[in-house]
Structure formats: C-alpha cells, structure tokens
Amino acid sequence: MAIQNTSRVRAETVRIASAPHSGFHAAPGYVPRVGEGVQTTEGAAEVIRVLTRVTGGRLLELRLEKRPKPPFFAASHNILIRDDVD
C-alpha cells in the first residue's frame, strides 16, 4: 500500500493569477546583463552574474534591491525586464 502525503495540495485547487507590473514585461529569449534591474516574484532585483545555460535561457544570480537577503538564482525566462529594454 502506497503512503499518501496529506500535506500536498491538489493541482485542481491551485489558481495562479498573473499580475501586470507597470514598466516591465516578459521576454523569454532575452538574457539580461550584469547590473541590469529586473522584476522577480520577490520584487525588484539586480543581476549579479549570468551563469550556465538552462532550458529556455540562462541561470541568473540576483540580489534583491533594498533588502538584506542573500543572493538567489532564477532562470532568465522567469523574470520580467524593463519596457525600455529588448
């Protein structure tokens, strides 16, 4: 008998809403440069390093602006870029 994980959320109960961010847009094929500002699910961030290729783009090391959190990683196709770039 398989053990069931009761902490899991059923997929049909999950709803994901996309909220527009003024001044930013998605550009899956674009790879931002070091120092460029981007928008993530955590907020505004700065690109620290552009790393290896991943499916659909590049792996980026990001640092949140105005927050003392350590850097984190995101794929370039999972961020938003400024409207004046691209």
Q: Are 49 and 58 in contact (CB under 8 A)?
A: no
Four-CA torsion 14, 41, 75, 50, nearest 10 degrees: -170
pLDDT digits (tens, 9 = 90+) for 2-45: 566 657 777 788 776 666 778 888 888 889 999 999 999 888 99
pLDDT digits (tens, 9 = 90+) for 57-81: 899 999 998 877 899 999 998 899 9
* Pairing verdict, β 43-54 and 57-64: antiparallel
CB-CB contact of 73 with 64 (8 Å): no
Domains and CATH numbers, the chain: 21-82 (2.30.30)
Quick check: pTM over 0.75?
Answer: no
Whether the predicted pLDDT of 48 surpasses 80: yes
